Amino acid sequence: MAEDLVLDTAIRDWVLVPLSVVMVLIGVLRYFVSKLMRSHQAPDLKVVKEGQVILRARNLRAAAGFIPAKSFRSRKTYFTNEENGLLHVPKGQAQNAQAQMFSDPNLAMDMMKKNLSMIIPQTLTFAWVNFFFSGFVAAKIPFPLTQRFRGMLQNGIDLSTVDVSYVSSRSWYFLNLFGLRGLFSLILGEENAMDDTQRMMQMSGFGFDPSR
Amino acid sequence: MAREGDRGASGGAEDDPPIFNAENLQSNIKSIHYSRTFLSIIGGVIAGIWGFTGLTGFIFYFLVMAAASFGLAAKAKFSICTYFDSWNRIFLDGIFGGLMSFVLFWTFAYDIVHIF
C-alpha cells in the first residue's frame, strides 16, 4: 500500500477551488459571448422552401403506413418525378453538402467563430494553469491507475516513486474540462455546453457524396 | 423530473408502426439526461465523502445509475412505449456521459474530505 501523503490545506484553497471556479465562470462567459455574437441572418426564401419540402417528404415517409398505397405512390411520384419532381436532382449535379457549406460565407464564418470561441479560452486557461500551478502535487484521484499514465498525469512532479494517484494540476484541469460539461448542460440549459464534440462528428460525416 | 403525465410521445392511431411526437420524445429524453447528470454529480460527492476508492466507487456509480433507471421506469409506469421509442433510452443513454462528471466530483469531494 502506498504511503499517504498529507497535502497542505493551502493547495485546496488556492488551487483546486479557484481552478474549478474559473473554469465554470469561463464557460458561462463563453456561453453569453457566443449568444451575443451570433449573427442573425435573414433566412433565404429558397432555402426555407426547400426545407419545408424535405419536411413534407419526411412526414410522408414516416406515415406511409396510414394512407392507401395508391395515394402514397402518387405522392411519391410527385416528389421524385424525372421531369418536374420537386426533389429530383440529376446525378452528378448534387452538390456535396460540405462544399455547399463552405461556399456559404455566413455559415463558414459562424462555424469559425464558434470554433475560435471554444479554442481560445481553453488554450488561455491551459497556459495559465501551466504557468502558475506547475511543479507540485495538486490532488489525489481516488482510483488507481497503471504506471503508463504517470507521464501524462504527473507532469510537473519529478519524483518517480510517488504513487500515480497523486496528480498535478494539469490533470485536474483536464478532469474539470470533461467533467464540467454535464454541469454546464444543467445550468446553461439545453446542451449548449461543448457542442464541439457533436459538431466534430457532423463535420466528419459530411465526407460522403450524395450523388453516388 | 418533467411531468410525464401529459407527455406521452407515441399516440394517434394504435396500428403498427406507432408514430412518435418528436417534440415530446425530445423533451422526455432531455429530462432523463438532466436527472442522470444531476444524480452523477450528487453521487460523486457522496462517494467522495464516504471515502470510496478504486473499484468500489465505480460500482457505486453504476448502482446509482441503475437506481435512476429503475426510478425512471417506475415513473413511466413501466410502459416504456408510451413515453419513449426504445428501452435503451431509459437504461443505457447517458451513462457514460455522466461518468466524467461523477469522477470529477468524486475526486473533488474525496480530496477535500480525506486528503486535505
pLDDT tens, residue by residue, B11-58: 444 444 566 677 778 888 888 888 888 888 999 999 988 888 888 888
Give the one of A7, A142, A180 whose C-beta lies nearest to B52's C-beta.
Answer: A142
Hey, are the CB atoms on B37 and A186 less than 8 Å from each other?
yes
Q: Which residue of B has its CA nearest to A65?
A: B17
Poorest-pLDDT segment among A2-6, A164-168, B104-108: A2-6
Q: Considering only CB atoms, which chain A residues are within 8 Å of B103? A: 141, 175, 179
The mean predicted confidence, pLDDT, of chain A is 73
Q: Hey, which residues does B25 pair with through a beta bridge?
A: none
pLDDT band, residue A91 (cuts 50/70/90): low
Beta-carbon-side half-sphere exposure of residue A14 (alpha carbons within 13 Å)? 10
Percent of chain A scored above 70 by pLDDT? 69
0.80 exceeded by the pTM? Answer: no
* Terminal Cα-to-Cα distance of chain B (whole angstroms): 36
Does pLDDT of B62 surpass 80? yes
Q: Residue A62 pLDDT more than 70?
A: yes
- Please say if the pLDDT value at position A20 is more than 70: yes
Contact B58 A142 (CB under 8 A): no
Nearest CA to CA, how far is B77 from chain A (Å)?
26
State the complex-level ipTM: 0.75
End-to-end CA distance of chain A: 61
Instruction: Give the DSSP H or E segment for A21.
Output: helix A17-37
Query: What's the rounded Cα separation, in Å, for the pair B7 and A162?
Result: 54
The string of pLDDT tens digits covering residues A33-50 is 877 877 666 777 887 888
Measure CB to CB from residue B17 to each of A65, A175, A190 and give the nearest one: A65
Nearest chain B alpha carbon to A171: B104
> What is the model's pLDDT at position A31?
84
Residue B79, min C-alpha distance to chain A (Å): 23
Peptide bond into B17 cis (omega under 30): yes
pLDDT in tens, B46-58: 998 888 888 888 8
Q: Give per-residue pLDDT as tens, A122-153.
A: 888 888 888 887 777 778 888 777 777 777 77
The C-alpha atoms of residue B108 and residue A8 are separated, in whole angstroms, by 15
pLDDT at site B6? 44
Q: What is the pLDDT of residue A90?
A: 57
Given this model, what pLDDT does residue A212 score? 38
The cell numbers describing A102, all together, are: 463552405
What is the predicted pLDDT for the residue at B82?
A: 72
- Mean local confidence (pLDDT), A100-105: 61
Contact B111 A16 (CB under 8 A): yes
pLDDT above 50 (res B93): yes
On the question of pLDDT at B100 being above 80, the answer is: yes
Please tell me which of the candidates A5, A62, A142 has its beta carbon nearest to residue B53. A142
User: Smallest CA–CA separation between B96 and chain A, in Å?
Assistant: 11
Report chain B residues touching chain A, CB-CB < 8 A.
Answer: 13, 15-17, 19, 30, 33-34, 37-38, 40-41, 47-48, 52-55, 57-58, 97-98, 100-108, 110-112, 115-116
pLDDT of residue B89: 65
According to the model, what pLDDT value does residue A209 have? 38
Closest CA to B62 of B77, B47, B51, B76: B47
Interface with chain A: mutation pick from B14, B53, B111, B113, highest number of A CBs within 10 Å: B111
Q: Is the pLDDT of residue A59 over 70?
A: yes
Chain segment A181-207, per-residue pLDDT in tens: 888 888 877 655 555 444 444 444 444
**Smallest Cα–Cα separation from B69: which of B102, B36, B100?**
B36
